[in-house]
Structure formats: structure tokens, C-alpha cells
Structure 1
Amino acid sequence: MRMAELSERSGVAVPTIKFYLREQLLASGERTSPNQAAYDESHVDRLRLVRALLDVGGLSVTAVRAVLAAIDNTELPLDWAFGIAQQALPAVLPDEDDAASARAIDDLIAERGWRIDPNNPGRATAARVLSRYESLGLGHLRQTAGEYLRAAEIVAAADLDSVIASPDRSTQVETVVVGTVLGDSLFAGLRRIAQEQRSHTLFDPTGSECEEAQ
């Protein structure tokens, strides 16, 4: 297919496709003439993936390039793929002001007997959140961290189950990377849905729990 058809099939504008080609987010098509190239279904699939990583995952172009390289590397160990995906996600840097909160996170991790790299980006992110709770005078929200960690363990198990269920290694790596990047957005969306349901249960005057509390 020509670029115009590739644009129509993928929903990505031609100028954007050309940008992705320049940024090496999309492989070049097969050259058919000095000014023409042919593209196939793999280009359509890659364009949809790039758009998902950029628009839903919120990654930068540089991060998307690293993620795509991980997907295309058939020799990459799965745990390395997880690491690349996690490092690609927006994260905060460790800060001395968050040291106490980082120790609190480490204590929760130790209580569960987990083996976690001190440089795991989630550690600094979680510590920063706890510190912000404190600075806003909402230190009691720190008590939710343990429950969040238990919920995260359930989600992580689902993530890994989906990897194991993938039919081949290539799909496993893509599942690891894409699931890690887009899974944060999925969980955030589902959490908002669950919050509404829980709020109806607790605060709706017609709800049974609210009536019992009265």
C-alpha cells in the first residue's frame, strides 16, 4: 500500500507518519521508485502501537523508541523488558526530602518479603506521594499505602499471568512492554470507576451501609 492508504488504514496523518519515519519509530517501506515506497500490515500495526504509547501511555518520542527497540529485540530477557518499560514511564527522581517516606515504603516492602531493586522507579514515585500527603496536612492518607501495595500485588499477578499466556516469545515481550506502559492508565481508569461505586455505597442516603451507620 502507498503512504496515503497507510494513513487511511491507521488513522495517522501523512505528515505524522513522515515524522515517525524520521524519528525511527516506523520502519521504512519497500522502495518502489525514487519517490515512492510500499507499506504492509506490519506498518499499520506499528503505527497503532506508536499512537497508543504516545497518546495513552504518555511517553516521549525518545521513550517510545526505547520501548520499540525492546519489543523488536528477540534476545532480550523478559525481566530486562520489564525494566526498560518501567524506565520509559514518567517518574520522579529520588529526593532527600522524601527519605523518611522512602523508608516507610521500604518497610512495607520488607514486611511482604519482596526483593526490590533500590533503583526501581516506583519506589521514588511512591515516596514522593507520601511526602506530598504530609506537606498538605493529609498525613493520614499514608495509611492507605499498605492497601495500595496489596492491590498492586494483585494487579502485578494479572500482568504476569497475561505474559505467561502469550503464545510466543515475541508476543510475550510485546505484552510485557505494552502492558506495563498502558496498564497504568487502565488501572487509573478502573480505580475511578471503583471509587464511584464505593462512594455510592458509603455516602448515598439510600444506600444500606449509610442507613446502618445512622
Structure 2
Amino acid sequence: MKFDFSDYALGAGVATDLVNTSPSVRSAGEVLADPAALATFLAEHGLHPDALADGRGPTQGDLDQVRALRQEIRALLETPAEEDVVDAAAGLVARAGLGPSLFRDGEGRWQWCVAARPEASLADELAVLTGVGLLGALRTLSHGRFRHCAADGCQGMFVDTSKAGKRRYCMPEVCGNRRNVANHRARRSRNSPDTTRSVSS
């Protein structure tokens, strides 16, 4: 697989989503419960790693390595010093990355990329992808885009690659909706008449 430096949102998004599969984030428990769940995760992100060529599915060993990578990425996202983030992300790329080199994109323009070594494991290919994405996001957007979820009680983290940079939740469709429902209920409670008062006759 080749990883395009200009498409940092892909790698940063995979890093975000991978971190948030953890049972420490999801109240429903471990998202990557078995190799089939890992295959689903990869498919949902449109990833076709070379390590899974010829229709091979992830193994339990792949799953164990990807879960370990998830912990490393979480630690990287929580790192306060930019220089340490760069070192850690570069370490992910160095696991199996070759390059950088140039390739032509679909429109014939030259783009910087890093390719994974042909013998790289699934976890190492994901390490290269996320490392490239996190380096690109840091350089293009700033370290301030590596954030904790704003939802009460949520332990999720994310890299905000949105144009406006105002994302607040690790999973907007879950944490954002939960917050909106709580706010709506609180407003409704404040605005409803007090039905406990007795009416004198």
C-alpha cells in the first residue's frame, strides 16, 4: 500500500476511529472483538492492506497486534509536546515505511507518498498509514487538533481534520447526539410548568 502525504485526513481518521474502538471508550465493550470485526473495520474505511492480499482475512495474531497499535496511537494522541508527537508518529512510519517517493495521482499530478514494505504485517501497514496521517495533520493543522472528546464521561479522542476545526466529539453521531438529547431534556425540564404546586380552591 502507498500512503499519500496530502491525504492526511484518511490516516488521521483511521487513527481516531481505531483508538475509539477500545472498550475503555465504548460502553458496549470491545469493538474489535475478533478477527471478523477487524475485517469489518478495514472494509468500513476502504482499506485493502497488502498483508491481506488474495482474500486472506485477519488472524488472531493480526488482531492482537492491531490492538497493541491502538494503545500506542492513544498514547501518541495524549502526548502534550509536539516534538514528542512527531517522534512517535515518525516511529510508526519507520516500522515498515519506504520512501518518501513521488507518484502520479488520478489527475496526473506528482504527490509525495510513503509505501509500506511488501512483507509488512497488517498492523505495520496501519502504523505507516496512521503515522503519515498524524504527521500530515500536525504539520497542516497544528497539534491543537489532537483532542479529547467534550462529552461528559467519554474517554474518546480524535484528530479534528475538519475545515472549521470546531469538532468537539470523538464520535459526533454518538457523543454529539447524546449531548444534544441531554441539553434538550434540560431545557424542557426548565421550561415545563411546575406540576407539583397545589391549586387552592
TM-score for the superposition, normalised by structure 1? 0.27
| Structure with higher helix content | 1
**More relative contact order, 1 or 2 (CA 8 Å, 6+ apart):** 2
- Richer in strand (by share): 2
